[in-house]
Chains A and B, each alone.
Chain A
Amino acid sequence: MTAPLLDIRNLRLGVALGRSVHHPLLKDVTFQIMPGEAYGLVGESGSGKSITSLAVMGLLKKPLAVFGGEILFKGQNLLSLPKREMRRLRGNRIAMIFQEPMTALNPLSTVGRQIAEMFVLHQGKSWGEAEKLAVEALGNVRVPNPDRRAKNYPHQMSGGLRQRVMIAMALACNPDLLIADEPTTALDVTVQAEVLRLIKELCAARGTAVLFISHDLGVIASICQRVGVMYAGCLVEENETRALFENPRHAYTRGLLGALPRLGSRSAHGRQRLVDIDSIIADRSKLTETRFIAPRGAERGQP
């Protein structure tokens, strides 16, 4: 078996509240991503998906801090890497796409220049060369008229186009791992499908592994080979995508799947209510390991 590309072991992080006290947000999160694999991370808002990805990027801001565990990337522990080395990996070997294409780009700089920065930073190109490569990168994400578009400012582009620019930027240096944090959530459905297909095809063609974060199981199913389900800071279940959908083991996963409307289910099973997962997200500090799904309503009383 080949070595995993990203190996997160017992990652614990939280809010530092003074010298020794902390409020835990992630508890012993462990999962691996193989080279070229697309791994999905699902869970509701606040379950810890995004901070997991920020921890991998080394972009956690105070008062968030890692308290234990390892993040191994190609066998190297990112948590103990000097800042300088981490900067060399960031953007170059591990790249990230963010949720908000409207605000994730600098409004006062052309998109061409913002993509070109990647080549200047990581490949030592001159600005002139880098701008040419940026036009190429825009062409690769199927932006029409890339040489004209490179001179555009973000406000002159639609949300879908901007997200393509983000993808072009993230994939500029052919990274080994692409982290996509809800990249399609802010887009409308038709554009969403295009952007998803683009990420899937480009990463497959280049052998880039993807850590895909979403709260949308449908999106995850269409792109990922394996899925991890997060709830209240823990990875509660992990499986091949198909297996997870067919046989969800954890109560929370069953709740998530039950909340999903399905086309044609009414004619097959008659009219049914969608199951909702009620109650607010539990306060982590009051949860015990064994009972942490208990405050939720839908599954209560079942063995």
Chain B
Amino acid sequence: MLRFTLRRIFQIIPTVVVVALLIFVIFSVVPGTFAASLFADGKRAADPQMIARLNEEFGLNKPLIERFTTYVTDLAQFDLGTSFRTRQPVIDLINDRMWASLQLAIAAMVFALVVGVPLGFLAALRPGSVLDTVTMIGAVSGLSMPQFWLGLLMMYLFALQLNWLPSFGYGDGSFRNLILPAVTLGVTPLALLARTTRAGVLDVLNADFIRTAHSKGMSEAKVVRWHVARNVLVLIVTTVGLQFGSLIGQAVVIEKLFAWPGIGSLLVDSVAIRDIPVVQGTILVIVLWFLVINTAVDLIYAAIDPRIKQE
């Protein structure tokens, strides 16, 4: 198990290197510069002198190969560069924002797990029941509803009409502020989890070893606890891992909507003004995050399913 763990952790490194190079290449071919974007609102005429000065300052007029060398050597020392806009180290900007995002993503996932998995289980154990039908209709609606719109509805109902919860903002990390964005963000993974859990449970219930379990004289509850749960867990872990990754992407919209000071809104703002170091740093951190979750999922797999370690 230890060897397996170490191997999976070391596999992260080459991926990070490739991603870092890719990010650099992409943002050196994207048109537009930070300096030019300052005049993009059209209120002032572009001042060529100022643009030249800014490009000089940020080293944007140096040859590509030279910029690349600087980027790589800095990165090797865990230096993500300095923001063009705020002139702060990128790592500090990300550090300020990352925890709010992480908090939001984890809260959304916990909500999805706590509600979605039991619903999927119950629906599968009584297929065709009212609960099953309602859950599946709910799941399809949850998957097809645009999150942006759902967020607005929630804001309107719970903040404006009922006045139960604050409609936006971080509120210094108070739990009440977290509820609306987390629930909105959690609806998609919840719907997916309910569906996959239901399908998974139904699948396992048809397996031969479940018939064996019944032939031993086990009650339905014990069959589910002793034989179904663990087998379905593999599927749930996969879904959670995949969803966690895409949550980061979806969070960009939700963070904007609820004015949540997360990494997603930082990314969007920085792309708009071509603040390349921040964009590069943010994407790199998101990728790293994704890789860490994937590795964690693989390790949990191996802990659940003894067949995986052998491969």
Contacts and interface: CB of A to CB of B under 8 A. Distances in A.
A90 B218 CA distance: 8
Contact of A108 (B212, B215, B216, B230): B230
Contact of B217 (A91, A100, A108, A155): A91
B215 A59 contact: yes
Chain B's interface: helix, strand, loop or mixed, by majority?
A: helix
Contact of A87 (B219, B304, B310): B219
B105 to A, nearest CB: 29
B211 A98 contact: yes
Given A108-B230, A108-B231, A121 B211 contact: no
A67 B218 CA distance: 25
A104 B307 contact: no
B64 interface: no
A89 interface: yes
B226 to A, nearest CB: 7
Given A98-B211, A121-B216, A153 B231 contact: no
B67 interface: no
Interface string B202-219: 000001110111111111
A104 B231 contact: no
B63 to A, nearest CB: 57
Given A103-B207, A105-B209, A155-B306, A57 B215 contact: yes
A117 B214 contact: no
B305 interface: yes
B97 interface: no
A91 B307 contact: no
Given A105-B212, A106-B227, A89 B307 contact: no
A106 B218 contact: no
Given A87-B219, A103-B207, A106-B231, A98 B304 contact: no
A59 B214 CA distance: 8
B208 A100 contact: yes
Contacts of A118: 216
A296 interface: no
Interface string A151-166: 0010100000000001
B211 A59 contact: yes
A122 interface: yes
Nearest to A59: B214
Contacts of A109: 226-227, 230
Interface residues of B, number: 23
Contacts of B208: 98, 100, 103-104
B218 A121 contact: yes
Nearest to A155: B307
A169 interface: yes
Given A109-B227, A109-B230, A90 B209 contact: no
A166 B218 CA distance: 16
A92 interface: yes
Nearest to B213: A106
A122 B215 CA distance: 12
Contacts of B218: 87, 91, 117, 121
B224 to A, nearest CB: 13
A96 B214 CA distance: 10
B230 A117 contact: no
Contacts of A98: 208, 211-212, 215
Interface string B231-268: 10010000000000000000000000000000000000
Contacts of B231: 106-108
B217 A90 contact: yes
A155 B311 CA distance: 12
Interface string A140-176: 0000000000000101000000000010010000000
A153 B212 contact: no
A106 B209 contact: yes
A206 interface: no
Interface string A45-82: 00000000000010100000000000000000000000
A183 to B, nearest CB: 13
A266 interface: no
A169 B230 contact: no
B209 A87 contact: no
Contacts of A103: 207-209
A109 B210 CA distance: 13
Given A57-B215, A95-B215, A95-B216, 4 more contacts: A91-B216, A106-B209, A107-B307, A121-B217
